[in-house]
Amino acid sequence: MGRKTQKVLGVIMPDWLTGYSKRKPVVPFNPTRPEAVRPESLQPVYTVFRYNAGDFKEGDTTLGKACSYAGPDDKVTWINVDGLKKEDVESLSGSFDIHPLIVEDILSSGQRAKMDETDEIIFCLLPMLYYNEGTGEVETEQVSIVLGKDFVISFQEDKDRDVFDPVRERIRSNHVKTRKESADYLLYSLVDVIVDSYFNVLDKINERLERLEDALILEQEQHAIAKISILRRVVIDVKRYISPVRDLVAGLLRSDSDLLEERHEKYYKDVLDHITQANEYIENYREMLVNLQDLSMSQVNTKMNKVMKIFTMVATLLAPATVIGGIFGMNFDVIPLAHQREGFYFAVTVMLVIPLIMLIWFKRRGWFD
């Protein structure tokens, strides 16, 4: 049974490799129909953390109970929503006086990372990234975080991909820094763990780059150009997701909002350093891919030159026989040895001796190395 193949990027590739080239179609952001991209069949799950330096409570809650936490409080309230339902998001946002335009952003997929602020609210929208080991693709989930005077509300699409557990553990373990700080420190903590999770994805990409580089150096890669193109697309996607996050964090640093305490500025600068480092990694990966593509093309050219070298040597070795055969085959009456019995043996001997001499000369010149 023959191995199934497909043509990808102009290269005939086996089915096991074409799986890496499959990707989800990009759905353009349509601000007029934000709810169209949200599955309404998923029931949102609400969890709440309420804490201060001396007290802490957590647990699952309902929409109505979550709405009741609106208003001044001596505790920091963190409400996390897993799964987005238009009516629920609008109801919760209305209780906390979240602007309708921000609600629209929460319900809309496919947006770039950004930071908006009103008099009473700071809104951050950024992606969480996940590396799919099966397809080799980087998948993304949009996370929206709303900061108020004494509350933080985070909206996620899929609870199974949550990266906030380190923050939860710090709150549960009576982490002094987290429990005694205001809500904007919680915002920093959430943004920080999201940015840190990017490095897990970057590590996976780096591993693929190293494997591909090793295979190219050992000349064991048969589909190098296709794999480089696929990996380059993954890197471009990651850059598209990550680059705007730097502007988001920089916007938090530039903000004059009373919701952000000046003493926490150093923490946001640390996040800015991390996201800058992540962007530098992406640029390095792009340069490595360009170098790998150059290496691959160089190897292809080298192999082609070797083939052409063999063809040239064969043609050169056959040239004396062609010339001698042409001379003895000319339509002249008088050709030395042409009509003598010894003429044939003489011609064959010359046809063999000259290529043999040429082979010895080629060998001494190092043309067989």
Residues 209 and 118 grouped into a single domain: yes
Whether residue 187 sits in one domain with residue 221:
yes
pLDDT by residue (tens digit) across 88-129? 999 999 999 999 999 999 998 888 999 999 888 999 999 999
Average pLDDT over residues 238-247: 94
pLDDT in the model for residue 296: 80
**Residue 369: inside a domain, yes or no?**
no
147 in the same domain as 78: yes
Q: Distance between CA atoms of 301 and 324, rounded to whole angstroms?
A: 35
**Mean pLDDT, rounded, of the chain:** 83
User: pLDDT at residue 8 above 60?
Assistant: no
pLDDT at 313 exceeding the cut of 80: yes
Give the global pTM: 0.76
Residue range 195-216: mean pLDDT, rounded = 91
* pLDDT grade for 348, boundaries at 50, 70 and 90: confident
Q: Indicate which CATH number applies to the domain containing 356.
A: 1.20.58.340
Q: Are residues 311 and 294 in the same domain?
A: no
Of 281, 298, 315, which closes a domain? 298
Backbone dihedral angles phi then psi of residue 32, each to the nearest 5 degrees: -85, -15
Mapped to the 3 state alphabet, what secondary structure does the chain carry? CCCCEEEECCEEEEHHHHHHHCCCCCCCCCCCCHHHHCCCCCCCEEEEEEECCCCEEEEEECHHHHHHCCCCCCCEEEEEEECCCHHHHHHHHHHCCCCHHHHHHHHCCCCCCEEEECCCCEEEEEEEEEECCCCCCEEEEEEEEEECCCEEEEEECCHHHCCCHHHHHHHHCCCHHHHHCCHHHHHHHHHHHHHHHHHHHHHHHHHHHHHHHHHHHCCCCCCHHHHHHHHHHHHHHHHHHHHHHHHHHHHHHHCCCCCCCHHHHHHHHHHHHHHHHHHHHHHHHHHHHHHHHHHHHHHHHHHHHHHHHHHHHHHHHHHHHHHHHHHHCCCCCCCCCCCCHHHHHHHHHHHHHHHHHHHHHHHHCCCCC
Cα(318)–Cα(147) distance, integer angstroms:
83
Mean pLDDT lowest for which of 16-20, 159-163, 315-319, 356-360? 16-20
Q: Looking at residue 369, what is its pLDDT?
A: 64
pLDDT: is 274 or 10 the higher one?
274
* pLDDT tens digit sequence for 273-299: 999 999 999 999 999 988 888 888 877
Q: Please state, in angstroms and rounded to a whole number, the distance separating the CA atoms of residues 301 and 95.
A: 67
Same domain, 201 and 318: no
Residue 221 pLDDT class (50, 70, 90 cuts): low
Q: What is the pLDDT of residues 248-276, one digit of tens each?
A: 999 999 999 889 998 899 999 999 999 99
Q: What average pLDDT does the segment 74-79 reach? A: 91
Domain range for 286 = 5-298
pLDDT at 162: 86
- For residues 343 and 314, the model is more confident at 314
On whether both 282 and 332 belong to a single domain, the answer is: no
For the record, the structure tokens of 82 come out as 């897993």
CA terminus-to-terminus distance, the chain: 39
195 and 244, same domain (yes or no): yes
Instruction: Please indicate, yes or no, whether residues 224 and 312 belong to a single structural domain of this protein.
Output: no
Same domain, 160 and 17: yes
**Amino acid at site 63:** L
Domain boundary among 264, 298, 332: 298
Q: Which of 305, 302, 310, 301 is nearest to 368 (CA)?
A: 310
Tokens (6 digits) for 351: 């046809």
Q: What is the pLDDT of residue 220?
A: 62
Give me the pLDDT at residue 42, please: 64
Q: What is the dihedral of CA 149, 60, 94, 147, to 10 degrees?
A: 30
**Do both 255 and 137 map to the same domain?**
yes
Number of domains in the chain: 2
Q: Identify whether residues 319 and 266 lie together within a single domain.
A: no
Residues 73 and 134 in one domain: yes
**Domain of residue 194, CATH code:** 3.30.460.20
* pLDDT number for residue 223: 75
141, part of any domain = yes
Which tops the pLDDT comparison, 15 or 186?
186
pLDDT of 34 above 70? no
Least confident of 113-117, 230-234, 359-363: 359-363
339 lies in a domain?
A: yes
Q: How far is the C-alpha of 202 from the C-alpha of 42, rounded, in Å?
A: 31
Among the residue ranges 13-27, 35-49, 84-98, 170-184, the one predicted with the least confidence is 13-27
- Residue 254: inside a domain, yes or no? yes
Boundary (domain end) residue, out of 272, 298, 324: 298
Q: Tokens at residue 359, please?
A: 């082979």
Least confident of 112-116, 176-180, 325-329: 325-329
Give the rounded percent of residues in the chain with a pLDDT score beyond 90.
41
In a domain, 174, yes or no: yes
Return the pLDDT at 12. Answer: 47
d(CA 148, CA 213): 48
The pLDDT of residue 41 is above 80: no
Asked, for residue 94, whether it belongs to a domain, the answer is: yes
